[in-house]
């Protein structure tokens, strides 16, 4: 692949939030630095796990600028673009490029389920024109359970035909191995990532590039180890642990469970706060998550 650095474990970071329901850029910068130090190749801010649809473009741009000012390595950032407005998408892409980020992970325009493939290509074309056609790599964000639009092989072919090498990758958040394999084998020039820890070890030998997901917020070291040796006998325990952990998290609020877990690990209750309409995970559900995670040998709460 021309963009062979686009591989490995990419964390879809959670977003710490202040009491005034604004993005806490200081805590976010600290968290991003830890993720990179623990083996993540890149960090993707303001995606689904990062509550990206709950913040305005202005808020996200200001937070990215704050990350830059705090000394964050912006070349290891791949922020998400989550808006059905081509103008808003263009503004976000322009700033991502201006800040020197590695690329932009772009959601298709949601809401109108009747959108045609040609219409979606036109959305990307308009967004990039509004951005000033910057020299920035684009990764496609395939999460049809939220957007109602699927980046099918047919649609990906149309986008690659229109934008060429500017399309460099796909995040497949369907949770289905066959979907990731179809994209990886159909588009070997692209970096195809799964969003699911359980799919990761089976996708890698079939052309996958790694994963972009929320679980590295907590388990970046283990997932990096699984990425580096997915077929090793020693990886069996890692696979079992990854499955147990993601089932506990997804069954108890997903990103809310990750935030509660980080609040316990950092001993900082501020990490639990979510942006309305989401609400902080209830203590009894958080305990279920902690118990399941600690049963895999990972310490969440301080020892009594």
Tokens 């799964």, residue located:
194
Which residue is catalytic, options 60, 171, 227, 259?
171
The answer on whether 174 is annotated among ligand-binding residues is: no
112 catalytic? Reply is: no
227 catalytic? Reply is: no
DSSP 8-class letter at 164 = G
The answer on whether 49 is annotated among ligand-binding residues is: yes
- CB neighbourhood size of 67 (10 A): 25
Which residue is catalytic, options 141, 221, 259, 287?
141
Q: Exposed (0-12), middle (13-18) or buried (19+): which is 132, by Cβ within 10 Å?
A: exposed
Return the active site residues. Answer: 141, 171
């Amino acid at each position: 692949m021309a963009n062979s650095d686009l591989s490995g474990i990419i964390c879809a970071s959670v977003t710490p939030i202040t009491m005034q329901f604004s993005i806490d850029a200081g805590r976010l910068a600290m968290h991003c630095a830890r993720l990179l130090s623990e083996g993540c190749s890149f960090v993707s801010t303001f995606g689904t796990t990062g509550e990206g649809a709950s913040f305005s473009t202005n808020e996200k741009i200001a937070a990215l600028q704050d990350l830059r000012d705090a000394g964050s390595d912006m070349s290891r950032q791949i922020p998400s673009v989550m808006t059905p407005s081509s103008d808003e998408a263009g503004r976000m892409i322009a700033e991502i490029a201006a800040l020197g980020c590695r690329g932009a992970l772009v959601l298709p325009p949601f809401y109108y389920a009747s959108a045609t493939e040609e219409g979606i290509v036109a959305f990307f074309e308009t967004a990039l024109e509004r951005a000033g056609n910057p020299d920035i790599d684009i990764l496609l964000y395939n999460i049809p359970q939220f957007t109602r639009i699927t980046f099918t092989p047919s649609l990906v072919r149309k986008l690659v035909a229109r934008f060429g090498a500017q399309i460099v990758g796909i995040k497949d958040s369907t949770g289905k191995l066959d979907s990731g394999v179809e994209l990886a084998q159909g588009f070997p020039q692209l970096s195809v990532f799964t969003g699911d820890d359980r799919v990761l070890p089976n996708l890698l030998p079939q052309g996958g590039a790694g994963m972009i997901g929320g679980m590295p917020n907590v388990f970046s070291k283990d997932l990096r180890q699984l990425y580096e040796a997915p077929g090793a006998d020693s990886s069996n325990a890692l696979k079992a642990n990854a499955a147990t952990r993601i089932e506990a998290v997804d069954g108890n609020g997903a990103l809310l469970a990750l935030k509660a877990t980080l609040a316990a690990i950092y001993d900082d209750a501020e990490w639990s706060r979510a942006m309305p309409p989401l609400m902080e995970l209830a203590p009894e559900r958080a305990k279920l998550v902690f118990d399941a995670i600690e049963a895999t040998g990972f310490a969440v709460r301080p020892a009594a």
